[in-house]
Amino acid sequence: MMKKIFLLLCAMASFLAMPVIAHAQSKYKDIAAGLQHAMVLKTDGTLWTFGLNSDGQLGDGTRTNRDKPVKILDNVSKITAGERCSYALRNDGTLWAWGRNDFGLLGDGTNVDRLRPVRILSGVKDVVAGNNHCAAILTDGTLWTWGDNAWLQLGDYTDENRNSPVKVMRGISTVACGGRMTGAIGKDGVRWGWGDNRYGQLGDGTTEYPEGPTKVTGMKMQKLAMGWEHVMGLTPAGVLYTWGDNRYGQLGDGTTTERTSPVRILSGVKDMAAFDFTSFAILTDGTLYGWGANDAGQLGDGTTTDKQRPVKLRSNISKVAAGGSFTMFLTTNGDLLVTGTIK
């Protein structure tokens, strides 16, 4: 099955069912994945990108695909990627964006693609990108959103796309963006959600569409992660719950039945990630589990078979970033592993 194995960094459209080490000579502290491009943040604060570049998502001033990382920015503290765009938070609190800009998803006040980073906001504490919309938390705790709003995912009580950030809420500690929905957790631990709720992504037992940010009563969460139409939530005690769409087993409960309320999946979890129809969880001891869609080998378990329950994948993992059909893993030693396909 694996007649030819190439590094994701060295061959577009390659197939990797098992993770391989990429650029072992470099050490990384953060990773982010778009649909078909990747961002890696080195320990020295330099940001590098590689992969497809048809919309300028690499930020190197061209639309040329890159099979090797190219340096884009210095003094970067956080990175996140949309489907075909990229965002970087720098040490001074400024937010920069580049790449595809339909829907206004770069937040620069235009709908023009940007081939190099442009400054969007200042005083930013955190930023998270969905497929075609983005959210940022400022240091004062206010939440701002922009981009596609066809499913009310911006939370501004309209369905109008926004090409500049709009203030949505106050008192927010963390935020997550999915395919067509957004979730946030307040400083009091209360969970909020809005946008697409066809599969119960709100997690309140309904499939009704909220007009704006809606408080979800029940258990408190400290972190959220979102795929295309499913949600992962982590409690302060490290218990992982999932809900929403489940057609590929991405909820990890052993079924393909959608859930409109949270279902308990794992305990002892410190971090998680989701993209499209695949889910990952990292335990406190660094053990990585994955489940859901695996058609491109994105789980890295040596198969292309979907998994309806968590499968143990690797040890000593500190970070995972899932793209459209590929996945990057960051080890506790700072090595970068890649599996899946990019084409």
Record the tokens describing residue 123, joined without a space.
Answer: 């005083």
Stated length of the chain: 343
> Is 21:12 a contact under the CB 8 Å cutoff?
no
> Is 265:259 a contact under the CB 8 Å cutoff?
no
| Cα–Cα distance, 159 to 12 (Å, whole number) | 37
**What residues does each domain of the chain span?**
15-341
Per-10-residue mean pLDDT for the chain, 343 residues long?
32 42 69 96 96 97 96 98 97 98 97 98 98 97 98 97 98 96 94 97 94 92 96 97 98 98 98 94 98 92 96 96 89 89 67
> Is 185:226 a contact under the CB 8 Å cutoff?
no
Record the tokens describing residue 203, joined without a space.
Answer: 């997690």
| Cα–Cα distance, 84 to 68 (Å, whole number) | 18
The alpha carbon dihedral of 45, 12, 343, 247 has a sign of: negative
Plot region of 151 (φ>0 → left; ψ -120 to 50 → alpha; else → beta) = alpha
CATH number given to 15-341:
2.130.10.30
| Cα–Cα distance, 320 to 135 (Å, whole number) | 20
Question: How wide is the angle at C-alpha 291 spanned by C-alphas 16 and 332, nearest 5°?
Answer: 65
Record the tokens describing residue 268, joined without a space.
Answer: 């002892």
| Cα–Cα distance, 329 to 320 (Å, whole number) | 5
Q: Other CB atoms closer than 10 Å to residue 263's CB: what's the count? A: 17
Dihedrals phi, psi of 29, to nearest 5 degrees: -125, -10
pLDDT score recorded for residue 24:
47
